[in-house]
A and B are shown apart, each in its own frame.
Chain A
Amino acid sequence: MTIENQNKLTIRDLKLWYGDFQALNGINLDIPSGKVTSFIGPSGCGKSTFLRCLNRMNDRINGCRLEGSILLEGSDIYDPQVDVVQLRTHIGMVFQKPNPFPKSIYENIAYAPRIHGMVNDGPEMDELVETALKKASIWDEVKDKLQQPGTALSGGQQQRLCIARTIAVQPDVILMDEPCSALDPIATAKIEELMDELKQDYTIVIVTHNMQQAARASDYTAYFYLGDLIEHGETSEIFTAPREQRTEDYITGRFG
Chain B
Amino acid sequence: MNTHTVKRYEDELNLLKEKMLSMAGLVEKAVRRSMKSLLRQDIKRAQKVIDRDDAINALEVEIDEMTRSMLALRQPAAGDLRFIIATIKIVSDLERSGDLAESIAEFMLQTEEHPLTHTSTLESMSELVISQIHDALNSFAKSDLEAALRCIEGDKKINNLYKTIQRETLTYMMEDPRQISAGMIISNVAKNLERIGDHGVNIAEMAIYMVKGRDVRHINHKAARSMIDPEQD
Contact = CB atoms under 8 A, between A and B. Distances in A.
Contacts of A256: 5
Interface string B196-233: 00000000000000001110000000000000000010
B205 to A, nearest CB: 15
Interface stretch (B79-87, B147-155, B164-172, B175-183): B79-87
Interface of B is mostly: loop
Nearest to B85: A240
B82 A240 contact: yes
A254 B2 contact: yes
Contacts of B79: 248, 252
A194 interface: no
Interface in B1-55: 1-6, 9
Among B2, B3, B9, B82: residue with most chain A CB under 10 A: B2
Given A211-B77, A253-B9, A241 B82 contact: yes
A254 B213 contact: no
B153 to A, nearest CB: 24
Contacts of A253: 4-6, 9, 77
Contacts of B6: 253
B78 interface: yes
A212 interface: yes
A86 to B, nearest CB: 40
A241 B5 contact: no
B77 A254 contact: no
B75 interface: yes
Contacts of A239: 77-78, 81
Given A240-B213, A255-B2, A256-B5, 5 more contacts: A237-B213, A241-B214, A252-B4, A252-B79, A254-B1
B213 A252 contact: no
Contacts of B5: 253-256
B224 to A, nearest CB: 16
Identify whether the interface residues of A are mostly helix, strand, loop, or mixed: helix
A248 B78 contact: yes
Nearest to A247: B78
Interface residues of A, number: 20
Interface residues of B, number: 19
Contacts of B212: 241
8 contacts: A211-B77, A241-B78, A241-B214, A248-B1, A251-B77, A253-B4, A254-B1, A254-B3
A136 B46 CA distance: 69
A255 B78 CA distance: 13
A238 B81 CA distance: 12
A142 interface: no
Contacts of A255: 2, 5
B3 to A, nearest CB: 6
Contacts of B3: 254
Given A240-B213, A241-B212, A252 B78 contact: yes
Contacts of A201: none
**From B78, B213, B214, B232, residue with most partner A Cβ within 10 Å:** B78
B80 A252 contact: yes
Contacts of A211: 77
Interface in A58-99: none
A248 B213 CA distance: 12
A255 to B, nearest CB: 7
A255 B81 CA distance: 16
Contacts of A248: 1, 78-79
Contacts of A240: 77-78, 81-82, 213
Given A215-B77, A252-B76, A241 B213 contact: yes
B160 to A, nearest CB: 34
B4 A254 contact: yes
A242 interface: yes
A249 interface: yes
Nearest to A249: B2
B81 to A, nearest CB: 6
B17 to A, nearest CB: 15
Interface string A20-54: 00000000000000000000000000000000000
